[in-house]
Amino acid sequence: MITQTDAWRALETDAEVLKLTHTRALFHEDPMRFERFSLEAAGIFLDFSKNKFTQKTLKNLIMLAASADLEDARERMFIGEKINVTEDRAVLHTALRDFSNRALEVGGEDISISVRAEREKMRVFSQSLISGETKGFTGAPLDTVVNIGIGGSDLGPQMVVEALRPYWLKGRRCFFVTNVDGQHLADTLTQLDPERTLFIIASKTFTTQETMTNAASAREWFLNRGGSEADIAKHFVALSTNAPAVEAFGIDRENMFVFWDWVGGRYSLWSAIGLSIALQVGFNNFEKLLRGAYDMDEHFRTAPLGENMPALLALIGVWNRNFMDCGVHAILPYDQHLNRFPAYLQQADMESSGKSRTIEGAMAPCATGPVVFGEPGTNGQHAFYQLMHQGTDVMSADFIAPALSQTPLGDHHEKLLANFLAQTEALMCGKSEQDVREELTDEGRTPQEIDRLASHKVFPGDRPTNSILMEKLTPESLGALIALYEHKIFCQGVIWGINSFDQWGVELGKVLAKAVLLELAAIGEAKPAICAHDASTNGLINWINQIRRQKGG
């Protein structure tokens, strides 16, 4: 058990000592702290010096990684061992962006051949669609794409399409419909011309209620607006691992882009699930995204743990989560185009690390994944940063920014970066009562006023942050950034001893929803009182059914 290792115990001792130390003091003690605790890889620069730890802590963290056999686990992932044991699957999203020409055998088959073939199919399809060679049922170009998917079949592509806005091809539009709330689809459909729209039905399983419901309604809309059954082939494609379900839905195998069970939903944007990306920014840029991720993969795969960016980010995360009591981790991109990045990482991290059982099925001996949330800077500064600076709970945070803007405008970017830097400085350094009192005295405040105000204006500081920088947000740097987090999540899972690649916790709600659906009244329908659930659920169903019956009558 990881908590019984010497490394864990040593870290507990470190934590006891460090809890009495301010991070500011660690900077005073070590003038080389920034150089020591920052590194660059695959176009990404990471400064983790503003976390509260010492060189000794880092040594112990690396020893912890060794106790968890992290390097061995890393190798087992890359070579395709079935490390997702509860689903009996390999975890090979890295194979989707492996440009090394290494063969990779899974179940006796070199999967790199099928990966390349499917990518080539995506290239040919996207180029033909973008050039206007592939046309809709009236001969109009298909310049609008609607990706219908949810979770991993939405968050990744949507985040990337938004992040690469400056790379959008002229005249092309891309929408994402996720929610089973019909308003999402209906609001989108009002903006569409059926003659020019390609619907991408993105679902690994092709059974997800939200996606199947939206896909069926989209098809009906298309058929009611001039399209015929025969035209469906021109306007609907599927991205899935489930060919029989795709065919049963009425989409031809020819119009299906496949991926494989060894690609987890939340790790699938590199596969056919990235088709919407390729159609919006061009296949070349999609491939550059993959290449950026590949660079990070190579770094992760080969660098020793002490110089390994994903591993170090993970270890600092473990330190903050398990030894510094940070139960919440904020993702704060100072880049408006990364506005979907926190939502994307929420699934990547929380669906992967939100587990309380170890791989062996025992209770996890320590806290696992933190709550992940975030907003782009500077917006968050005017919302939740108050709690970050002065709240009773300490949270950790990643600040992410490009040094250069994709879309320079006056001095906006300098102001954005100034805020980024100021916030990380303030969170770490804080402001002492003595400084506050001096400031208030300089302002000419009376001693009574100073006494009344001083404590409210104190900033404790000592809030841990990572700063993640890149030259510019490009397809390559974005690819590397995403891969950095994927591997960070993997490393943390190995240390906590959990399976980062299943998601059983999403199942119960899905099953119960099916039962409840049968109990909900149609508008105007009188349903007998429901009493099959707990009193709260019964009461809520009955309240809703009553309203729905009355409104129909």
Contacts of 16-24 with C-beta under 8 Å, sequence gap 24+, read 18/52, 18/53, 18/54, 18/57, 18/324, 19/324, 21/52, 22/430, 22/461, 22/462, 23/50, 23/51, 23/52, 23/428, 23/429, 23/461, 23/462, 23/464, 24/428, 24/429, 24/430, 24/461, 24/462
Q: Which is nearer to ligand F6P, 151 or 376 (CB)?
A: 151
Q: Which is nearer to ligand F6P, 238 or 428 (CB)?
A: 238
Residue 204 lies near ligand F6P (rule: CB under 6 A): yes
Please confirm, yes or no, whether 135 is among the known catalytic residues: no
Min CB(212)–ligand F6P separation in Å: 8
Q: Compute CA distances 174 → 150, 259, 344, 529, whole Å.
A: 15, 22, 18, 44
Residue 336 lies near ligand F6P (rule: CB under 6 A): no
The single residue among 503, 521, 530, 548 that binds ligand F6P, judged by CB under 6 A, is 503
What are the phi and psi torsion angles at 88 (to 5°)? 55, 50
The single residue among 266, 321, 355, 488 that binds ligand F6P, judged by CB under 6 A, is 266
Residue 213 lies near ligand F6P (rule: CB under 6 A): no
Choices 43-51, 102-110, 203-211, 367-375; region in contact with ligand F6P by CB under 6 A: 203-211
Per DSSP (E only), the strands in 403-543 are 465-470
What are the phi and psi torsion angles at 141 (to 5°)? -70, 150
Q: Which is nearer to ligand F6P, 348 or 436 (CB)?
A: 348
The single residue among 265, 333, 342, 461 that binds ligand F6P, judged by CB under 6 A, is 265
Please report how many Cα atoms fall inside a 13 Å half-sphere around the Cα of residue 348, on the Cβ side: 26
- Show contacts with ligand F6P in window 183-202 (CB under 6 A): none
Amino acid at the residue 257: F
CA 282 to chain centre: 22
Q: Which residue in the block uniquely carries the two structure tokens 């169903």? A: 541
Residue of 274, 137, 153 whose CA lies nearest to 193: 137
Please confirm, yes or no, whether 514 is among the known catalytic residues: no
Min CB(204)–ligand F6P separation in Å: 4
Beta strand 109-110 pairing with 105-106: antiparallel
Min CB(178)–ligand F6P separation in Å: 10
Out of 162, 210, 351, 375, pick the active-site residue: 351
The one-character DSSP state at 520 is S
Min CB(3)–ligand F6P separation in Å: 29
- Show contacts with ligand F6P in window 152-181 (CB under 6 A): 152-153
Choices 23-31, 148-156, 369-377, 528-536; region in contact with ligand F6P by CB under 6 A: 148-156
User: Reduced to 3 states, what is the DSSP secondary structure of residue 282?
Assistant: coil
Choices 19-27, 125-133, 150-158, 516-524; region in contact with ligand F6P by CB under 6 A: 150-158
Say which residues have a Cβ less than 8 Å from residue 437's Cβ, sequence separation at least 6: 450, 454
Q: What is the dihedral of CA 353, 354, 358, 364, to 10 degrees?
A: 110
- Helix orientation angle between 182-189 and 209-223, rounded to the nearest 10 degrees: 30
Q: Which is nearer to ligand F6P, 160 or 440 (CB)?
A: 160
Q: Return the exposure string of 499-514: e unless at least 16 CB atoms fall within 10 Å of the residue's CB, then b.
A: bbbbbeeeeeeeeeee
Min CB(207)–ligand F6P separation in Å: 7
Please confirm, yes or no, whether 443 is among the known catalytic residues: no
- Show contacts with ligand F6P in window 406-465 (CB under 6 A): none
- Note whether 428 and 24 are within 8 A (CB): yes
User: For the chain, how far is it from start to end, CA to CA, in angstroms?
Assistant: 62
Residues 341-380 vs ligand F6P: string with x where CB under 6 A?
Answer: ----------x-----------------------------
80: alpha, beta or left, given left = phi > 0 and alpha = psi -120 to 50?
Answer: left
Min CB(265)–ligand F6P separation in Å: 3
Out of 170, 382, 456, 551, pick the active-site residue: 382
Q: Which is nearer to ligand F6P, 68 or 215 (CB)?
A: 215
Q: Which is nearer to ligand F6P, 180 or 454 (CB)?
A: 180
Residues 93-132 vs ligand F6P: string with x where CB under 6 A?
Answer: ----------------------------------------
- Helix orientation angle between 341-353 and 475-496, rounded to the nearest 10 degrees: 20
Min CB(215)–ligand F6P separation in Å: 10
Q: Which residues bind ligand F6P (CB under 6 A)?
A: 150-153, 203-205, 208, 211, 265-266, 351, 503, 506
Give the residue numbers marked as catalytic: 351, 382, 510
